[in-house]
Structures are given as structure tokens and as C-alpha cells.
Amino acid sequence: MKGVNNGQKTGPNLREEAGRQGRGHDNEPSRCKEGISRDMSEAKKKSPQRIPVSSKKLRLSGDGLDGVLLGMKCNNCGEYFLSAPNFCANCTSDDLEEVELSKHGTLRSYTVVHTPPPGWQGNVPYILGSVELPEGPSIRSEVVDCPQQSLKVGMPVDMVLRVAGKDKEENEVVVYSWKPASE
């Protein structure tokens, strides 16, 4: 996952430039003793956060512990989509709105993945399931907390959030997975 800085100087590069000019961040002559940084932001480094694997499909709560799946709904015919289409595939209307989708679904099929895609940071093998949501769309994601021999097509499942790994800024990357529904 790549960050964007739009060519602005940040972090150590900005401090180095200010030091070469003999000035601090506020463009006043530096009054710091050698080896002591005036930059308090260095001491208060931004702590890693939880971020969604895709902000177009998953919205996290402020603390990153809860989240909702995002989809689109056609206001003309009522069709739901997981992706963000430019128009409705059912009626071709462009009157679409973003909606929150259900956290519950039905397992429609699954497979055991022994060779993961590039960048996969989870366990191998793992179970990849296709889950149909009450609104209609199906979504593929990992099925967790259930041994393969206990899986049954048609079983109810609930969405859970998992940390799948870290990005280069050490943020925890959160993914949505499915587990058997609690009874």
C-alpha cells in the first residue's frame, strides 16, 4: 500500500533542509543545542492505525474494531452491487447510491486454497468462500474459525474483521472474513 506525499518535503528531509539553512521549521534561527531536535512531532510519532484493505468495500469505525461492507444500490430498480459501477447492470440507470450491506450471509460455495495469490500474508492452506448477502450480491472472502469438514453449503455466516498484515507505515490492514453464524 503506497502513501502519497504529492512531492512535499516531510519528516527527516524537511529537518535536514532546515538544519542546512540554520533555521527551524518556523523559519526562525535555530536555537537548539547540537543533537537536539526542535521538532516535537518526532517525539510524538503518529501511532499506527487500522486501515481497511479497500476503502471502497469496507468502512471501519474510528477505532478500527468494527466495520461495514459498502455497496451500491440502484434507486431505479433496487438492484444491489458490491462494486462501484457507473450504471446499473440490470436497468442501465445511473441513479446509484452508496449503502451499507449486511454483516450476515449464506455460504454458497467454497474451496481450499493451497497456492495463495502474491502478497497473501495469511495462513496456507485457507478456505475461500462465496457468501450471498441478503441484498443479493455474492462476495468472496476467507472463511475462518471453522474446520473444512464442518463447512456446509447453505450454512449461515457472519462477517468478522481480521488484521491481515501491515503496510509499510506499520498500519494494520483490516480485511473482512466470514465465520459460522453464532446461534
Residue 7 lies in a domain: no
Residues with pLDDT less than 70, the chain: 1-47, 183
Residue 134: predicted pLDDT: 96
Q: Look up cell 488484521; give the residue.
A: 163
Q: Is the pTM of this model over 0.85?
A: no
Residue 130 lies in a domain: yes
Looking at the chain, list the stretches that DSSP marks H as alpha helix, in order from N- to C-terminal side. 11-20, 40-43
Report yes or no: 171 and 45 within 8 Å, Cβ to Cβ.
Answer: no
Residue count (the chain)? 183
Residue 23 lies in a domain: no
**Cβ-count burial of 39 within 10 angstroms (0-12 exposed, 13-18 middle, 19+ buried)?**
middle
Residue 123 lies in a domain: yes
| Structure confidence by residue, pLDDT tens digits, 139-164 | 999 999 999 999 999 999 999 999 98
Count how many domains the chain has: 1
Residue 100 lies in a domain: yes
Report yes or no: 12 and 130 within 8 Å, Cβ to Cβ.
Answer: no
Residue 96: predicted pLDDT: 96
Residue 81: predicted pLDDT: 92
Q: What is the DSSP letter of 89?
A: T
Share of the chain above pLDDT 90, in %: 49
Report residue 114: phi and psi, to 5°: -105, -25
Residue 21: predicted pLDDT: 41
Structural domain containing residue 76: 50-180
Q: Which amino acid belongs to residue 172? A: E
